[in-house]
Structure formats: structure tokens, C-alpha cells
Amino acid sequence: MFNKKIILVVFINVFILFGCASNQTELLKTPHRDTEFLLGTVVTISIYNPDQEHVVELAIDRIEQLEHILSDEIESTEVDQINENAGIKPVQVSEELYYLIERSVEYGDISDGAFDVTIGPLTNLWRIGYDDARKPAVDEIEQAIALIDHQKIQLDQEDQSVFLIEKGMQLDLGAIAKGYITDQVYELFIQEGVTSAIIDLGGNIFVMGHRPQGDKWSVGIQNPFLGRGEILGRIRTTDQSIVTSGIYERYLEVDGVQYHHLLDPNTGYPFDHEIAGVSIISDTSIDGDALSTVVFTKGLNEGKSFIESYPGAEAIFITKDQEVVISSGLIDEFELTNDRFELIKD
């Protein structure tokens, strides 16, 4: 599930720049760090507070715990049980999963269904990003999209249960789960007294506090037309999440045509518009994760209008024509570093 959405076509690369500040002696120049393969991707946790090495281990444990609740790629998880019981009976679930599905339904509402957590029948048809990816037949796509409708999820708060009312419906939390898990790690850090850290869940980035030198983190935005590490600009920020959706890093090519992994639940085919990638900078990573999909589905003009009205979130849009369009809150925070791109501020 978790690698069904490449959240970092516009890959986030955190640059450690040198400077001077009064709290330099309080933080480590070389952090406590661990890198593991979890959630179908490479996860890296870095903590710059001294004597907090044990919290890195706590964070990895928490990610593993949530993966075994939220994944639909691991046998007998709660999500797997919900899918297996579609059209049969409700399934009582953990507080974490109930909350995540509840929020997913909210994002479905605000996106008019373009973000739909019941998109599982469609993503499992295309399987883009897996060895068995294929272009489905028209009748298969029609059957799949008939099962997609987030409003057909029955939530019972008293029983804390979830019911997909039609047989064959499937949840796919790949567009939101890593954001939720990132926020859970951040909350753990707050509880443990961590003040400076980088949470990187395979592209879902959260930069916490300040760098050891005392200034904000510098976060690079990758050129989506080149390999990882080739940036087109950067922002400076703190205590924020950076999440990206885009089309170039994971796709299926059939008869010379590329089909990217961001699928329209209304048509059954990839969205087709001017956006190559969009990065969401937000106060919470669950917002960043969901909104990166919501905004992408709306296209450039509607997506920008939407994000301008959404509190606590900003966006960087990269078009196929190599234009970079930023929302108003990033005008003083974003720096374009690649002269092959044109920065559009209006």
C-alpha cells in the first residue's frame, strides 16, 4: 500500500548548511540516526538532541506498529480485514485506523471525490510501481470505478467499526497513511522532549525545530525531470511537513504511452493536465499527504485557488512546461536555483 503513491517525485533533500547561533553547543552536529526499510520505502529518523538516541528506536518501533495496523499489503492487518469483509459485516478497528479513515472521508468530501480512500479496486488493477503492472481492459476499469465511493463507508463511532457496504470495495490508504504516521512520530518526539529532528518516511519529510547552527532547515525541491538529488529550488522552514505528488518517478509505459500512478477515480485513468509535480508545505503531514493528491487532481488554477483558501498549507507547483508556481505564503521563503525553470508568483 505505502508505495502505491510516490509522494516524492519532487524529492525532498534536506541540506545541512553551516552558520552560527547561540544554541550550537546544545545540539549535535552529527545526529542520532537510523535508517530502515519500512512502509515499502527507506525510512530515516534523525535526532539532533544529545542523549536522545533511545527515542530513535522508539520512533522505529512506532512506525512498525502502525504499519501492521494500516497496511493492506501485510496479511491480516485491520485494513485487510475491512477489505475482506466488504459487503459482509462491519469490522471493529483500532483508534488509529478509525481516525485515519474518518479523516480520509473528510478529504474525499472537500475534493468532491477526487481523493477517494476506496480507490483500492482501481489501484490494484493497474498495479503501477509493481512488477505485475499492466494497463487494464476497459471493462475491468468500468467495474472497478463502479466500486469507488467514499460515501459508501459506514463509520460507527460508538462501536469504532468500519463497514464497506458493497462487496468488492477496497480501502487504499497509500495517499494518506505516511502523513499520519509522520505526525505520530512527531507527537512522540514532543512527548520525549526532542526539539530538533528530521523525520523522513520515504519522502514525507517533517523538519522539527532548528538546525544545530540555530537557523531554519533548508529543504531542496527536486527537479522532477531528472534523477534524485537534482534540485530546482529550496525553501527555508521549521516545524513543518513537506510532501509531494507527481507523475514522472513511477509510471507504466504501454505502446509508447506513459501512464503515471495518480489515477482519477471518475475515469479510471491517470489525471491528464499541466502539472508535473506539486509539493505541499503544511503544519501537519496528514494534511500534506492528502492535500498533495487533492491539489494535484484539481489542476494548476483550481489547485492554487484551493490551497490559497486552505489554512496552514502552502504549495509549489511544477508544470510540464518547466514553470514553478508558488502560493502566496511562500513568496519570501522559496528560492529558485535552476535557471531552466521560470518562477511564477502571481
For the stretch 176-205, pLDDT in tens is 999 999 999 999 999 999 999 999 998 789
Domain assignment of residue 84, yes or no: yes
Give pLDDT < 50 ranges for the chain: 4-25
Domain assignment of residue 6, yes or no: no
Domain assignment of residue 102, yes or no: yes
Domain assignment of residue 169, yes or no: no
Answer yes or no: do 184 and 329 share one domain: yes
Chain centre to alpha carbon of residue 298: 17
Answer yes or no: do 312 and 236 share one domain: yes
| Domain end marker among 129, 164, 199 | 164
Domain assignment of residue 88, yes or no: yes
Of the candidates 305, 306, 312, 313, the residue with the CA atom closest to the CA atom of residue 346: 305
Answer yes or no: do 289 and 184 share one domain: yes
Of the candidates 186, 249, 196, the residue with the CA atom closest to the CA atom of residue 24: 196
| Separation between Cα atoms, residue 93 and residue 20, nearest integer Å | 49
Query: Is there a contact between 178 and 242 (Cβ–Cβ < 8 Å)?
Result: no
Answer yes or no: do 284 and 226 share one domain: yes
Domain assignment of residue 5, yes or no: no
Q: Around Cβ 116, how many Cβ atoms within 10 Å?
A: 29
Answer yes or no: do 139 and 26 share one domain: no
User: What pLDDT does 249 receive?
Assistant: 67
| Domain end marker among 126, 144, 164 | 164
Answer yes or no: do 40 and 78 share one domain: no
Answer yes or no: do 61 and 76 share one domain: no
For the stretch 96-107, pLDDT in tens is 999 999 999 999
| Domain end marker among 164, 199, 215 | 164
Answer yes or no: do 137 and 191 share one domain: no
| Separation between Cα atoms, residue 178 and residue 286, nearest integer Å | 8
Give the sign of the dihedral formed by CA 137, CA 132, CA 169, CA 273: negative
CATH classification at residue 81: 1.10.3980.10
Answer yes or no: do 92 and 219 share one domain: no
User: What pLDDT does 120 receive?
Assistant: 94
Domain assignment of residue 249, yes or no: yes
**Mean pLDDT value across the chain:** 88
| Separation between Cα atoms, residue 318 and residue 224, nearest integer Å | 8
Whole-angstrom CA distances from 314 to 112, 208, 240 are: 20, 17, 11
Answer yes or no: do 59 and 199 share one domain: yes
Domain assignment of residue 103, yes or no: yes
Of the candidates 59, 60, 61, 74, the residue with the CA atom closest to the CA atom of residue 1: 74
> Any idea what DSSP says for residue 177?
H
Rg (CA), the chain: 20
Query: Is there a contact between 162 and 101 (Cβ–Cβ < 8 Å)?
Result: yes
CATH classification at residue 49: 3.10.520.10
Percent of the chain with pLDDT over 90: 67
Of the candidates 139, 107, 165, the residue with the CA atom closest to the CA atom of residue 287: 107
Q: Whole domain around residue 220: which residue ranges?
A: 12-67+176-344
Query: Is there a contact between 126 and 134 (Cβ–Cβ < 8 Å)?
Result: yes
Please tell me the pTM assigned to this model: 0.87
User: What pLDDT does 346 receive?
Assistant: 66
User: What pLDDT does 256 receive?
Assistant: 78
| Helix/strand/coil percentages in the chain, nearest 5 | 30, 25, 45
Name the burial class of residue 19, with classes exposed (0-12), middle (13-18) and buried (19+) by CB atoms within 10 angstroms of its CB.
Answer: exposed
How many domains does one find in the chain?
A: 2
Answer yes or no: do 308 and 196 share one domain: yes
Answer yes or no: do 156 and 258 share one domain: no
